[in-house]
Structure 1
Amino acid sequence: MPAASVLTVITSWPTMVYTVLLGVVLIYWLLALLGMVDFESSGIDVDIDTHADASPEDLGTLASYVVAMGLNGVPFSIAISLLVLVGWLFTALASVLVLPLVPTAPLHALAGGVVLALAAALSIIVTARLVRPLRGLFVTHTAQTNAALVGQVCRILTGTVDERQGRAEVAQRGASINIRVWAPSPNPFKRGDRALVTDYDAATLRYRVDVLPIDE
């Protein structure tokens, strides 16, 4: 297709609507590459508690639409970019293959509106399938805090545990965590004993351990 024809297609009805949107998307990603915006900071956030200026009913409706369309789980910028790109491709193809067959200008305008509506619907379906394998890339993993180990059972690794020394391990999924521990003397702890983590001292980065209750 000649360059002039391509330009005519992307600037004519109805493709021009998506062409403008695609231009906005390209500018946004250019700014993201330059570090002026953070694409991950604009995730699809449907948490009612963080939107004090919106009603719970409106946010609940938004959440249901986002989930229903399958566009959740990825940053909003990625979902919108895919929606615009798919819609632009669909309208451009329709402008080349279908709309030239429409005989009159009024019918051409009407057919363009139909194509625009179909493009919006099709872009949602296609984008939902495209984002499905991408969701795993944007899962937020919350790191476990030191204080989270308080209340768990550990196994003593050193021969003795007192106010100055001691180590133990806490069983976790996948791997155990080796921690520094202490306990008031005298105590019965020896290597291999099980103990209860009862406190964490942020100043010394150590955990206090005590004898497990009898029911443990």
Structure 2
Amino acid sequence: MGAFLAAAAGFPTILFSSALVVVVVFWLLTAVGAADHHGFHGHQHFEAWGMGGVPVTVAFSLLTAVAWFVSLSTTVLLDPLMPFGLARAAFRVAVLAVALLVAWRTTRLLVRPLRHLLPDAPGPSRHDFVGLTCTIRTGRVDGGFGQAEVRPADGSSALVQVRQSGDDALGSGSTGLLYAYDEAGEFFWVAPYDSALDPRRPGSG
């Protein structure tokens, strides 16, 4: 156990140990909702190194964990065999380079199957729905009841809660316009939508 602790606290593993502590703390904060796993920037750099397609935090965490393991295990197994002095220092520098290389290649392989499960870009937020049309899915919409289906630009669909301030005829299958989002009530304000009145419609006006 002492050998492992000494290796983890010595060069070069200490570099990865420090980064691993940051990674563990970050994911603990994410688990309790105090951090967002999409919040770490640097996507362009990871994409250039073949590790894009997943959130940067995931790629960085994998890279750190693999590098730490390779550095620790190599140091524990081979460092005692190295003579003291310049040879051992050169060996430890080589371990650093090998750990980074192995971690990079391994992370590239690991992110490939994760790309479809963990997309790099977050999905649309509720506020992205404001200004979109929707299809009413309930028999009525009033000030306290209503649901509608909305389709954002990415082609997905979502069932959202909708309310209206007036008494317009909004029934199942009719088209509405989501014009505001109520944070407290977690619903959208909706109004009847007539495509013939849309100023963006060709031939209108």
TM-score between the two structures when normalised by the length of structure 1:
0.57
Change (3 A) 1:104 1:204: closer
Match of 1:4 among 2, 5, 9: 2
Contact 1:44–1:74, Cα closer than 8 Å, also in 2: no
Contact 1:74–1:134, Cα closer than 8 Å, also in 2: yes
Distance of 1:21 and 1:174 partners within structure 2: 37
What corresponds to 1:180 in structure 2? Answer: 174
Amino acid at match of 1:180: S
Change (3 A) 1:73 1:44: farther
Residue 131 of structure 1: CA displacement?
1.1
Distance of 2:116 and 2:32 partners within structure 1: 25
What corresponds to 1:31 in structure 2? Answer: 29
What corresponds to 1:102 in structure 2? Answer: 82
What corresponds to 2:17 in structure 1? Answer: 19
User: After the TM superposition, which of the residue ranges 17-26 and 27-36 deviates more from structure 2?
Assistant: 27-36
Amino acid at match of 1:68: A
Show the 5 A alignment for 1:31-180.
31-42=29-40, 44-45=42-43, 63=44, 65-139=45-119, 140=122, 146-147=132-133, 179-180=173-174
Q: How many residues align?
A: 148
What corresponds to 2:182 in structure 1? Answer: none
Residue 22 of structure 1: CA displacement?
1.1
Change (3 A) 1:109 1:126: same
The percent identity for this pair of structures is: 27
Contact 1:69–1:125, Cα closer than 8 Å, also in 2: no
Aligned with 1:32: secondary structure?
A: helix
Amino acid at match of 2:118: F
Distance of 1:115 and 1:174 partners within structure 2: 47
Instruction: Give CA-to-partner distance per residue, 1:91-147, whole Å, 9 cap, x none.
Output: 011112222221223211111011101111211111111111111123355588745
Aligned with 2:113: secondary structure?
A: helix
Contact 2:17–2:68, Cα closer than 8 Å, also in 1: yes
Residue 66 of structure 1: CA displacement?
2.7
Gaps of 5+ in 2: 136-154, 158-171, 179-189, 197-205
Amino acid at match of 2:71: T
**CA RMSD, Structure 1 to Structure 2 (Å):** 3.2
TM-score between the two structures when normalised by the length of structure 2:
0.59
Distance of 2:156 and 2:87 partners within structure 1: 64
User: After the TM superposition, which of the residue ranges 66-75 and 14-23 deviates more from structure 2?
Assistant: 66-75
Residue 5 of structure 1: CA displacement?
2.1
Distance of 1:99 and 1:146 partners within structure 2: 63
